[in-house]
Homo-oligomer: A and B are copies of this chain.
Amino acid sequence: MTQAAPLLPETARANTLVARRLGIDTRREAVIFMRKDCHVCRSEGFTAHARVRVANGKNAIIATLYQITSELLLPGEAGLSESAWQTLSVEDGGPITVSHARPLDSMSTVRARIYGNRVAEDDMQPVIDDIVAGRYSDIDIAAFITVCASLPLNDAETVALTRAMVNAGDTLHWPTSPIVDKHCIGGLPGNRTTPIVVAIVAACGLTMPKTSSRAITSPAGTADTMETLAPVALDIVQMRRVVEREGGCIVWGGAVRLSPADDILIRVERALDLDSEGQLVASILSKKVAAGSTHLVLDIPVGPTAKVRSDESAKALASFLSRVGAAFGLETRIVLTDGAQPVGTGIGPALEARDVLSVLQVSRNAPVDLRDRSVRLAGALLELGGAASAGDGEAKAAKVLGDGRAWAKFRDICEAQGGMRTPPEAAHRRPVLAAEAGTVTKIDNRRIAKVAKLAGAPDAKAAGLEMHVRLGDTVEAEQPLYTIHAETPGELAYALEYAATNGDIVGSG
């Protein structure tokens, strides 16, 4: 009903500032720093913590605003965090425009879910796309994560979330089939079966292009461990070449953008210490579907301090994973394993790599549990992928490992990835001793992992710890329970202090 009064666009749009790179790492969060007395802040009515739209030509992002009351910036300047700088591809001194961010349409889906409505198939993609594009603030993401836990995602929503996460990133396609993969569901220190399984399975002729993650909350991810044995930061072209030549690889997934929403969601889940099954299933399966996998073996360690604590919940999770996987044509087999204590002797990148080597080399001292688990998982994959008939998988896996073919394949893969390396050794070590004689009745996986992290793992590759006892062992007073490895005296002291104030990490009944 109204008639436009003449506009003054040149005034209204004079929201231009000069960009300055401040060299501030805020991770993925885009942050813009503007003077509080800046003409844009004043005319737009911006206050600190506002979400604003920052544009460099056609490139635009949504950023969080912090306001400068000092001389950190000159009048007319705006500072950008590293992530904002890179996404906008702006030049130092180049012009950027800042305006109010429009409300995100996809947040209405999150709000509707808060009020109890299920997310329709088509509504999930815009949510995930906005999250990956950095348009959601931490507050927005936290609301999404929270409401996916308070009203658990059902099958249809989990399928929709998985699909949206796949679509939001790169996808790999392979000329052969089957493409096999394995995944372990969280929480068991030292459970580094992947390099061994890949070597066995590839030696048997299956294709297993394995991308692994670095540690998020653990003392080592497979990529961290593998990096002490060979380069892992391969791009997709290099990765393809390795797989074509050797039938398998063990590389870091970071160079390929498989399900990039996953890391963003996991960071917030971790901050909230929330585990929601639907999110977990979408997180795992989106990476596998994006990687082009057709057959997947899932290792679910079950134990009192593992992520999954009872056979019952393991089976429920397994069933959920299989149902959602089936929606993507992914055949899954679940292997429940013992999650009562750490696997192998080493915990930390290099220490775990040493265990992997000793199993592959069929050394006399190789940890039996790591070997047995690897054979079991490889056997399941051989059967699932059609390289062994039902019931014969384990025997075949054991043979290929025992006769050195797996070790030969592993060396070939390492060479193809850029050359084999020798894992580093830590300069500072100190044993933690038993205070009294007894029988080991419990080992706390979570706090064992914490000791290894305080010692510097995974960033300090040689850091971590070496276990000397297992459940059921009898120990004398003063007998070493485990040895802490660190690269610096400070980190050694940290880990020791924590071990001293947590005397029951290894407990006697």
Distance in angstroms from A220 CB to nearest chain B CB is 13
B21, B45, B435, B501: the one contacting A3 at CB < 8 Å is: B435
CA distance A141 to B493 in the complex (A): 35
A66 sits at the interface (CB 8 A): yes
Which A452-509 residues have C-beta < 8 A from chain B? 453, 456, 459, 478, 481, 488-494, 496-497, 499-508
- A426-443 Cβ-contact flags toward B at 8 Å (1 or 0): 000011111110100000
Closest to A430 in B: B5
- A2 with B273: CB separation less than 8 A: no
Which A11-61 residues have C-beta < 8 A from chain B? 11-12, 14, 21-27, 29, 31, 33, 36, 42-43, 45, 47-49, 51
Closest to A459 in B: B45
Which A261-307 residues have C-beta < 8 A from chain B? 267-268, 271-274
A7 sits at the interface (CB 8 A): yes
Using A8-B493, A489-B11 as known contacts, say yes or no to A25 and B66 having CB atoms under 8 A apart. Answer: yes
- B503 with A146: CB separation less than 8 A: no
Distance in angstroms from A426 CB to nearest chain B CB is 15
Copies of this protein, total: 2
Chain B residues closer than 8 Å to A123, beta-carbon distance: none
CA distance A103 to B398 in the complex (A): 44
B70, B271, B273, B459: the one contacting A22 at CB < 8 Å is: B70
Distance in angstroms from A159 CB to nearest chain B CB is 22
CA distance A431 to B3 in the complex (A): 10
CA distance A149 to B115 in the complex (A): 7
- A500 with B2: CB separation less than 8 A: yes
Distance in angstroms from A373 CB to nearest chain B CB is 26
Contact segment of A132-140, A168-176, A228-236, A388-396: A132-140
- A122-160 Cβ-contact flags toward B at 8 Å (1 or 0): 000000000000000111111101110111000000000
A88 sits at the interface (CB 8 A): no
B23, B49, B478: the one contacting A69 at CB < 8 Å is: B23
A68 sits at the interface (CB 8 A): yes
B1, B25, B49, B500: the one contacting A29 at CB < 8 Å is: B49
A114 sits at the interface (CB 8 A): yes
Using A433-B2, A436-B1, A493-B12 as known contacts, say yes or no to A24 and B67 having CB atoms under 8 A apart. Answer: yes
Using A7-B500, A137-B138, A139-B271 as known contacts, say yes or no to A116 and B150 having CB atoms under 8 A apart. Answer: yes
- A93-134 Cβ-contact flags toward B at 8 Å (1 or 0): 000000000010001000101111000000000000000000
A-B pairs with beta carbons under 8 Å apart, 22 shown: A2-B435, A2-B504, A3-B435, A3-B503, A4-B503, A7-B497, A7-B500, A8-B493, A11-B489, A14-B490, A24-B66, A24-B68, A24-B69, A25-B48, A26-B66, A43-B488, A49-B267, A72-B72, A103-B273, A115-B150, A139-B271, A142-B143
